[in-house]
Chain A
Amino acid sequence: MQKNNLKIYQANYSDKKEILKFIKIYWNKNHILLKNNQLFDYYYKEKKKLNFLIAIDNLNIVGLLGYIKNEKYNFINNSLVWTSILKALDDYPLLGVKLVQKLLNKFEKSDIGCMGNNIVSQKLFKLVGFETDILNHYYLINNKIKRFKLIKFKSKKKIVKKSLHLKVNYKFLNKDNISQIKNYHIRDKNYKFILNKYILNKFYNYKVIVIQNKNNKVENLFVFRVIKKNKSSCIRVVDYLGKFVDFKKNIFVFNKLLTKYKSEYLDFYTSKKISKKLLKHINKNDYNKDIVVPNYFEPYIKSNTYIRYGVFYKSKKKNYDLFKGEGDAERPNEIRNN
């Protein structure tokens, strides 16, 4: 194989067929992107371009790196950019590193994030300068449920938490009232981000709740979806905008949601560490064998999952509070009929 004419550049929309062929042969022949044209375009199409860096040798794709720009949702220049699929052929040593370097150079002023990395890519990102770690996993179970079909545990007693009795001012946000929070933003996430990424999402039905103080000032907001499986359900909180002040209020609302949706459990992954004090009211998954809080539902896999992440900071703002929904981590993995 010739390796002298290696070129890396952003793909044109006309490269789509070759990208799909590469994914099919070298990544996963059953990948959802091969089956769902709409999904591919939703994530990667940008005018006449595709948000993929492709490495070409001898007219063939030999490596690629997909990316998702938060700008797509929030319309703010130089917002965070998230890496997506990364694959390079073994015949091309360090091509993965070169692709990531190219991305870092392409977006000079943007911080670059990666979410849901496997062990190998996590090492690659660490080597090129990403600050890497594993998300913390927190969960609450619904004490009123008698038979649990999704979550697995040995002792219910150990994970039922002290209930909270608070007065919390909260409400659901939708496309008609989201403008009420138009002056509120955290990091590069603003109301447009919430509206475009979640409320108007074509693939999942997300719900948004805002928590306000007595004077109706926004304290924080969070995004969740209810997953129905095995004649049961769970609630996944996928994003959060706010400081972790008065998080007890959120836990109170989480418990309310468990009752409302009759769900087995509610969980969320975050880079933030919740204080020990609050662990009286919420569980942290310590990944021992006695408890399984599933993360994969397409298909459903009854096992705990570590979610690895990293950020390459170019801005001075460091230590973002990250959530599971960042980048394409919430991308569907199965075609659904509904």
Chain B
Amino acid sequence: MEKKVLSCFKKVFKNSKIPKDMNKIKMGNIKQWDSLGHINLLLEIEKRFKIKFSMKEISELKNMKKIVATLNKIAKK
């Protein structure tokens, strides 16, 4: 799961350095992760995982840990 999510990050933020430590992958730590970057990232994850984030999730998923946790939760449903 983490690997798949990380590949989304690499695809969307291809001109930015992605921290190796998963805990440091968050909005504000990646140059391209602004509002548009966030939209592109979540659309890419939705496409890759064939899911749809809720309104609440869209505003909350501002770090990789949360994204992975949310995807795990969705997968269990």
Contact = CB atoms under 8 A, between A and B. Distances in A.
B1 interface: no
Interface in A72-91: 88, 90
Interface in B28-77: 34-36, 38-40, 42-43, 46, 52-53, 55, 58-59
Interface of A: 88, 90, 93-98, 101, 104, 120, 123-124, 126-129
A127 B36 contact: no
Question: Shortest 6 CB-CB distances between A and B: which pairs?
Answer: A123-B39, A93-B35, A127-B39, A101-B55, A124-B39, A94-B35
B58 A93 contact: no
What secondary structure prevails in chain A residues at the interface with B?
helix
B59 A98 contact: yes
A42 B55 CA distance: 32
Nearest to A119: B36
A88 B59 contact: no
A322 B34 CA distance: 32
B35 A96 contact: yes
Interface centre among A90, A94, A96, A129 (most CB of B within 10 A): A94
Contacts of A95: 35
Interface residues of B, number: 15
A90 B39 contact: no
A129 B34 contact: no
Nearest to B56: A101
Contacts of B43: 123, 126-127
Contacts of A93: 27, 34-35, 38
Contacts of B35: 88, 90, 93-97
A34 to B, nearest CB: 25
A93 B37 CA distance: 10
B58 A97 contact: yes
Given A123-B39, A123-B43, A129-B52, 16 more contacts: A93-B34, A93-B35, A93-B38, A94-B35, A94-B38, A94-B59, A96-B35, A97-B39, A97-B58, A98-B59, A101-B59, A123-B36, A123-B40, A127-B42, A127-B46, A128-B58
A42 B34 CA distance: 35
A127 B34 contact: no
A120 B53 CA distance: 18
Contacts of A124: 39
Contacts of A97: 35, 39, 58-59
B12 to A, nearest CB: 12
Contact of A129 (B27, B36, B55, B59): B55
A127 B27 contact: no
Contacts of A128: 55, 58
Contacts of B39: 97, 120, 123-124, 127
Contacts of A120: 36, 39
A104 B36 CA distance: 20
Contacts of A90: 34-35
27 contacts: A90-B35, A93-B27, A93-B34, A93-B38, A94-B35, A94-B59, A95-B35, A96-B35, A97-B35, A97-B58, A98-B59, A101-B58, A101-B59, A104-B55, A120-B36, A120-B39, A123-B36, A123-B40, A123-B43, A126-B43, A127-B42, A127-B43, A127-B46, A127-B58, A128-B55, A128-B58, A129-B52
A82 B51 CA distance: 27
B68 to A, nearest CB: 19
Interface centre among A93, A97, A101 (most CB of B within 10 A): A93
Contacts of A96: 35
Nearest to A120: B36
A93 B39 CA distance: 11
A90 B38 CA distance: 12
